[in-house]
């Protein structure tokens, strides 16, 4: 009941703040929860846990606490729905409300033009994840109206009062305003492949947004021109705005030399390591993000393949990704260090811990004992 009441209270809070999108989402979740409780009245008799709001530790300070936690929209993060497909059905299968987590376990409804690769890009999951979750053959074709189960739940790696966080291993951009996570966007990042001459890995470090451009011209960096020449391709120095421009319709320049956050003409490449270092964003996501982000917005690109979080209800979640750039000294050791640092040794199921570390699925998994 407390979860139902908290969800309804959150909907009311958004409504009073004239935030129609969030209020509608939480009213919908309230109705879903009420239906579940009506179908399973025995849940009303279960003892309720005391919900204590924890304050996140920030690099830039601490978030203010309140009676109602400030939560991200669990059923719409990341916001993958294309504007042309606003009627796409979404069925929430499992919802965990926590300031520490983003994403959900849900189902996607296939629309015209979808492929497994494109759906995976929209949702911020891998094709292998969709194969596994839906017991699909690698050669499977999709049908309009088909439901695809997925889980894109992630642990928020770093909170900022204002700004952008990009975590390379989880291929996700997190955008914060006034201490609140307002967007969680799957991205494509620099390829892990490197040789003696070229390294296209996305660099880590702090940055600021220095400019924004709609319909940008792409001025090809000398390093990419050299690669074109080495590969026997025509050397191009610039590409004008249009359907052949790799930057797509929107580009955001950062203070890190050569690193842009931009749209793409290859939307199926999102949630992969496929760029020359830039941060690619799905076109529909980029259009909204471009409108919101301001010049001088601060940001940071981090490399955190192992993440751990304790929810407000005391559940312990662990998320482990592949060490794609080979920067970790050991994923298992890092996961164990986080457990010990947070004094959780006696609160987790070590078999679940080992499974998460071994599988490296990149999903926030509950490892609570």
| 183 and 269 belong to one structural domain | yes
What's the confidence (pLDDT) of residue 54? Answer: 33
Judge whether 72 lies within some domain: no
Q: Which H/E stretch holds residue 240?
A: none
| 356 and 333 belong to one structural domain | yes
Q: Tell me, what CATH number does 229's domain have?
A: 2.40.440.10
Site of tokens 């660099």: 203
| 345 and 267 belong to one structural domain | no
What's the confidence (pLDDT) of residue 29? Answer: 66
Residue 139: Cβ within 10 Å count: 5
Token output for 296: 């001088």
CA 280 to CA 357: how far, in whole Å?
28
Last-in-domain residue among 302, 330, 350: 302
Judge whether 186 lies within some domain: yes
Judge whether 124 lies within some domain: no
- Picking from 244, 285, 296, 240, the residue whose alpha carbon sits closest to that of residue 265 is 244
> What does pLDDT average to in each consecutive run of 10 residues of the chain (369 residues)?
60 52 59 57 41 34 31 38 43 64 95 95 95 91 96 94 96 96 96 86 97 97 94 95 96 97 97 96 96 97 97 95 95 97 96 98 96
Q: For the chain, what is the radius of gyration of the CA atoms?
A: 21
- Picking from 302, 81, 85, 77, the residue whose alpha carbon sits closest to that of residue 206 is 302
Site of tokens 């494109």: 118
Judge whether 96 lies within some domain: no
| 311 and 335 belong to one structural domain | yes
| 283 and 328 belong to one structural domain | no
| 245 and 358 belong to one structural domain | no
Judge whether 231 lies within some domain: yes
Site of tokens 């996607």: 108
Last-in-domain residue among 283, 302, 321: 302
What's the confidence (pLDDT) of residue 195? Answer: 78
| 231 and 342 belong to one structural domain | no
Token output for 54: 């924890």
For 80-123, what is each residue's pLDDT tens digit? Answer: 444 445 444 343 445 566 889 999 999 999 999 999 999 999 99
CA 65 to CA 51: how far, in whole Å?
13
| 245 and 323 belong to one structural domain | no
What's the confidence (pLDDT) of residue 193? Answer: 84
CA 303 to CA 69: how far, in whole Å?
28
- With contact defined as beta carbons under 8 Å apart, do 117 and 129 qualify? no
**Burial state string for 335-368 with b = 16 or more CB within 10 A and e = fewer than 16:** bbeebeeeebeeebeeebbeebbeebbbbbbebb
- Residue 268 main-chain phi, psi, to 5 deg: -70, -10
What's the confidence (pLDDT) of residue 38? Answer: 57
CB-neighbour burial class of residue 104 (10 A; exposed 0-12, middle 13-18, buried 19+): buried
DSSP state of 90: E
| 257 and 331 belong to one structural domain | no
- Provide the residue range defining the domain that includes 255: 167-302
| 345 and 223 belong to one structural domain | no
3-state secondary structure of 250: strand
CA 62 to CA 231: how far, in whole Å?
50
CA 319 to CA 353: how far, in whole Å?
10
- Picking from 164, 118, 266, 283, the residue whose alpha carbon sits closest to that of residue 214 is 283
- Picking from 8, 46, 41, the residue whose alpha carbon sits closest to that of residue 27 is 8
CA 190 to CA 269: how far, in whole Å?
11
What is the model's pTM?
Answer: 0.76
| 312 and 279 belong to one structural domain | no
Judge whether 40 lies within some domain: yes
Token output for 337: 């260090």
What's the confidence (pLDDT) of residue 1? Answer: 54
For 139-197, what is each residue's pLDDT tens digit? Answer: 889 999 999 999 999 999 988 999 999 999 999 999 999 999 999 999 999 999 877 78
Judge whether 346 lies within some domain: yes
What's the confidence (pLDDT) of residue 90? Answer: 42
| 266 and 225 belong to one structural domain | yes
Last-in-domain residue among 29, 48, 67: 48
Number of domains in the chain: 3
What's the confidence (pLDDT) of residue 197? Answer: 86
């Amino acid at each position: 009941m407390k979860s139902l009441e908290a969800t309804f209270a959150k909907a009311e809070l958004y409504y009073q703040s004239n935030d129609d999108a969030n209020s509608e989402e939480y009213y919908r979740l309230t109705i879903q929860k009420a239906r579940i409780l009506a179908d399973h009245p025995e849940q009303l008799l279960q003892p309720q846990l005391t919900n204590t709001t924890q304050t996140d530790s920030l690099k830039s300070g601490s978030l203010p606490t309140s009676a109602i936690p400030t939560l991200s929209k669990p059923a719409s993060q990341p916001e993958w729905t294309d504007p042309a497909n606003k009627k796409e059905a979404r069925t929430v299968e499992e919802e965990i409300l926590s300031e520490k987590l983003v994403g959900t376990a849900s189902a996607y409804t296939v629309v015209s033009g979808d492929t497994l690769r494109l759906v995976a890009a929209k949702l911020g999951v891998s094709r292998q994840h969709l194969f596994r979750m839906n017991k699909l053959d690698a050669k499977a074709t999709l049908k309009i109206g088909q439901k695809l189960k997925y889980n894109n739940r992630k642990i928020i790696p770093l909170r900022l009062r204002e700004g952008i966080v990009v975590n390379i291993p989880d291929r996700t951009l997190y955008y914060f305003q006034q201490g609140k996570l307002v967007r969680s966007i799957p991205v494509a990042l620099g390829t892990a492949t490197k040789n003696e001459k070229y390294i296209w890995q996305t660099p880590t470090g702090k940055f600021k947004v220095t400019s924004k451009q709609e319909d940008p011209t792409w001025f090809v960096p000398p390093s990419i021109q050299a690669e074109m020449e080495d590969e026997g391709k025509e050397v191009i120095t610039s590409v004008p705005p249009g359907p052949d421009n790799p930057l797509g319709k929107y580009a955001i320049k950062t203070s890190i030399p050569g690193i842009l956050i931009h749209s793409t003409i290859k939307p199926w490449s999102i949630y992969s390591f496929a760029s020359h270092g830039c941060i690619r964003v799905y076109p529909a996501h980029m259009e909204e993000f471009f409108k919101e982000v301001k010049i001088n917005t601060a940001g940071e690109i981090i490399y955190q393949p192992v993440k751990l979080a304790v929810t407000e209800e005391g559940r312990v979640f662990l998320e482990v990704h592949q060490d794609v750039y080979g920067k970790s000294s050991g994923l298992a050791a890092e996961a164990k260090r986080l457990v010990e640092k947070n004094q959780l040794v006696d609160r987790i199921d070590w078999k679940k811990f080992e499974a998460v570390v071994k599988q490296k699925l990149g999903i926030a998994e509950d490892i609570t004992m």
